[in-house]
Structure 1
Amino acid sequence: MPLDPKRLRVIGQKNISHLFRIIGGSGRDSITVNGCAGADRRMLPPYVVYSAKNLRDAWTIGRPQGCRYNCSDKGWMDSTVFVGWFEELFLKSIPSERPVILFFDGHKSHTSVRLIQSAMKNRVILLKLPPNSTHTLQPLDVGVYGPLKTQ
């Protein structure tokens, strides 16, 4: 999600002239929000990645229940952050009945030896979707995020 005010989309009540306030900044920072849902329609809490060296307490005020946070240089997922999501949020949020399948996009930043080892240990089958196909294959991209991006 870019933080450039010219590229932001806001959802709100009609006929309200000021839904948000523009604040200073370079407009080049990004925040990644990793969402995950099960076939049983259960949503996992969001996992938010800020562009920073250290997480600020102010960024977590009023957070949704169970939400987790992390940081990376550009605010994007990298292999360390993705493993953090997998081990800190995903594994703790899914049912104990295993095996389970995790569908995820094929970006190289999401795959690492540590992820594979952790998945094998916890009886999680990793199903990596082909690169550049999530806009048509990944259920959350098709049914949730895609429609939001086109508004």
Structure 2
Amino acid sequence: MVTKSHYVRKNLILMKDMGKKNRGIRAQWTEKTMAEALQLLREGNSQETLARRCGIPRRMLRNHLESGLSKHSLGAKPLLRTQENDLAVKIIRFAEKGFPLTSKSLRGSVFKFCETLGVPHKFNKVTQLVGKEWYRSFLKRHPNISQRRAQQLQKLNRYIADDYFTKLGSLLDRKGLKHRPEKLHNMDEKGCRLTLQNKQRVLAEKGSRRVHLIAPEHGENVTIVACANALGQVVLPMIPFKGQRQKPTYTDGLPAGSEVCMTPTGSMTTGTFLTWLDHFMSAPPTILIFDGLSSHLDVSIADKAEPLGIELFCLPSNTTHQPTHGRDCFSPV
């Protein structure tokens, strides 16, 4: 005996199979077929006739006719189709110079790019990162780029060191700066603790000649951005202070031409680095060696440095003893 539930199950199975078949017949045409159909359509043939003959939906025929494209593609189009090739070239060039982009820094740079140019998107404005799905699709569209595990200096071996100095030597040869030490600069930042500048009046026994004041254990730190070339010629420092409003006392005692700026944390950020590049302004061409802090690794920094004739080159991670450390620039500090 056939029951009502039997017909219900049978109809559900048929509907499920129909859904599978519909998903399987999407875009069952070739670019050659589409090109021929568009040519016949321009000659005055009926859309309905060509749709049946070529197996192409009428709406798709009309869309391709209006756009003039016959390329076979499914899904959403890349958001930055024209800029992606340039971005892929930059990623490879950054890796060769010692500061490969991480997935997070790339996603953040693309988000800023879309916001700056007003490109409509649906990315998360809270995290200010493009989606992971876009990132995976980007890697599929550019198979010459792959994720690699970075090798840090703490795992240094002869081959890693040789590769690093080979790349630096190649850059010097390519720019013709191997015997131009004045064109080879190293930039670094140093944190210093603020101390009391004026002697304070304190209470003590009458007649005491020497009264010492204990400095606070947790003083406020300030960052000094220093730079010098291989001849020992220094660039005037830039000091990012924590806060929003700059006080006139911040420039007291600084050498003429020094730069002072305000940041939320009092340390270097991407925006501060961009400001420092304007302050640096060495006669091109020049090579700027710096460390690989995450705040320094941004596409916008390279985009600004390139027109200024500044070639960026990054030190390996965990390189504490830079040329500007020790007895060179920061020993008095």
Is 1:118 equivalent to 2:304 in the alignment? yes
What TM-score do the two structures reach when normalised by structure 1? 0.72
Offset from partner CA, 1:101-137 (integer Å, 9 cap, x none):
000011011122221011111111101111211x23x
Give 5+ residue unaligned stretches, structure 1. 6-16
Distance 2:241 2:211 in 1: 25
Q: Which amino acid aligns with 1:48?
A: I
Query: Which secondary structure state, in structure 2, belongs to the residue aligned with residue 58 of structure 1?
Result: helix
Alignment match, 1:90: 280
Query: Which secondary structure state, in structure 1, belongs to the residue aligned with residue 193 of structure 2?
Result: coil
Alignment match, 1:140: 324
1:52 is displaced (CA, Å) by: 1.2
1:28 is displaced (CA, Å) by: 5.0
Distance 1:42 1:19 in 2: 38
Aligned-pair identity (%): 24
Distance 1:41 1:85 in 2: 19
Matches within 5 A, 1:1-151: 1-3=192-194, 27=218, 29-87=220-278, 89-91=279-281, 94=282, 96=283, 98-133=284-319, 135-136=320-321, 138-144=322-328, 147=331
Offset from partner CA, 1:61-111 (integer Å, 9 cap, x none):
232111000111221111111111112x111xx2x2x32100001101112
Distance 2:212 2:236 in 1: 25
Using a 3 Å threshold, how does the CA distance of structure 1 residues 20 and 58 change in structure 2: closer, same or farther? farther
Q: Which amino acid aligns with 2:327?
A: G
Distance 1:50 1:20 in 2: 25
Q: Greater RCO between the two (CA within 8 Å, min separation 6)?
A: 1
User: Which has more radius of gyration?
Assistant: 2
Q: 1:29, 1:75 within 8 Å by CA — same for their partners in 2?
A: no
Offset from partner CA, 1:9-34 (integer Å, 9 cap, x none):
xxxxxxxx789995x8x945321001
Using a 3 Å threshold, how does the CA distance of structure 1 residues 3 and 122 change in structure 2: closer, same or farther? same
Query: Which secondary structure state, in structure 1, belongs to the residue aligned with residue 306 of structure 2?
Result: helix
Offset from partner CA, 1:44-65 (integer Å, 9 cap, x none):
1010111111211111123211
Q: 1:104, 1:129 within 8 Å by CA — same for their partners in 2?
A: yes
Distance 1:19 1:112 in 2: 47
Give 5+ residue unaligned stretches, structure 2. 1-191, 197-209
Q: Which amino acid aligns with 2:273?
A: F
What TM-score do the two structures reach when normalised by structure 2? 0.35
